Amino acid sequence: MIETAPFGSTGHASTRVIFGAAALGAMSQPRADRVLETLLEYGINHIDTAAAYGESELRLAPWLALHRERFFVATKTGERTRQGARESLERSLERLGIERVDLIQLHNLVGEEEWEAALGPGGALEALIEAREHGRVRFIGVTGHGTRVAAMHIRSLERFRFDSVLLPCNFTMLSQPDYARDFETLAELCQERGVALQTIKAVARRRWQNGSQPRFSWYEPIKDPAALQRAVHFVLARPGLFLNTTSDATLLPQLLEAASDEPERVSDAQLARDVATFEMEPLFIPGVSEGI
């Protein structure tokens, strides 16, 4: 079983591993049902999906009809206007087959113009606040990718009292000094304010190389069991962090098994050896690769 921890100040004790339902986006319903049964085996109680994750919300719907009370359900909207976000949320609720989501997140809010639009007058945030007032959502969060995301989340928390943030965290990303500095500043701020800190890309190896075609994830994941376990423990050995699972569902049992063990702090030397052995690289590099 996976340990739980307070999800920020929401009052919910979430499993420290959160199921990333992007994995369901292109699955058949029978395959999705088998994947979701794995969550019950490990006691996972928090699901994270998004309007942009293909058929993910639809695949969750019949399952939530049976197990809604067991799960904290989060989704996301990529819309930046008030009207667009309102319509996106209502569509997500319809697709999920539920009356309310526990957490609605502004999806990948990193670009300056989009940030100003979403958080400004007539922006998406207004719709989410309104939805919270009407009982359609309980909490509001913000997510993002790239090397600027931690700094932008800090700005977002200064603008509005978000309940959660989500961003990349793995050894290669935190080996970049500027990103590490911003991440640590954000982590401290989240701890001070009771904001849940969700991490993604824990088991990312690198972007696909030499024309290789992505299979279940846009990035190449770590496949070596021991290295994958160390990557998982790198995140979970640090109190206060949540780990969102990869969109490659073939790795879900292995990842959950690794997370079931007591997380041990892995030395930087061992992680550096993994980087060299498996030719790992940061997914995001300033001025080189910022987007997905």
User: Of the listed 42, 53, 179, 219, which one is catalytic?
Assistant: 53
Is 172 inside a domain boundary?
A: yes
For the segment 113-141, what is each residue's pLDDT rounded down to a tens digit? Answer: 999 999 999 999 999 999 999 999 999 99
pLDDT at 134: 98
Quote the pTM value: 0.96
Residues 200 and 149: their CA atoms lie apart, in Å, by 12
Of 107, 4, 15, 98, nearest to 60 (Cα)? 98
CA dihedral 31, 33, 39, 42 (to 10 degrees): -80
Contact 165, 143 (CB under 8 A): yes
Alpha helix stretches (DSSP H) within the chain: 29-42, 56-67, 82-96, 112-119, 124-133, 149-159, 171-174, 177-193, 225-236, 252-260, 268-277
Is 144 inside a domain boundary?
A: yes
Q: Which residues pair with 105 in a beta bridge?
A: 76, 141
pLDDT at 211: 72
User: Which residue range forms the structural domain that includes residue 182?
Assistant: 4-277
Is 24 inside a domain boundary?
A: yes
Q: How many domains does the chain have?
A: 1
pLDDT at 210: 81
Of 12, 27, 116, 124, nearest to 71 (Cα)? 12
pLDDT at 213: 67
Cβ contacts of residue 262 below 8 Å, gap of 6+?
none
Contact 286, 178 (CB under 8 A): yes
CATH number at residue 180: 3.20.20.100
Is 284 inside a domain boundary?
A: no
pLDDT at 291: 77
Along the 292 residues of the chain, how does pLDDT read in single tens digits?
A: 899 999 999 999 999 999 999 999 999 999 999 999 999 999 999 999 999 999 999 999 999 999 999 999 999 999 999 999 999 999 999 999 999 999 999 999 999 999 999 999 999 999 999 999 999 999 999 999 999 999 999 999 999 999 999 999 999 999 999 999 999 999 999 999 999 999 999 999 999 988 776 778 899 999 999 999 999 999 999 999 999 999 999 999 999 999 998 888 999 999 999 999 999 999 999 877 777 7
Q: Known catalytic residue: 179?
A: no
Residues 227 and 225: their CA atoms lie apart, in Å, by 6
Is 286 inside a domain boundary?
A: no
Is 14 inside a domain boundary?
A: yes
Is 292 inside a domain boundary?
A: no
- Integer-rounded Cα Rg, in Å, for the chain is 18
Report strand pairing: 17-20 vs 46-48. Answer: parallel
CA torsion sign, 231 to 235 to 238 to 244?
Answer: negative
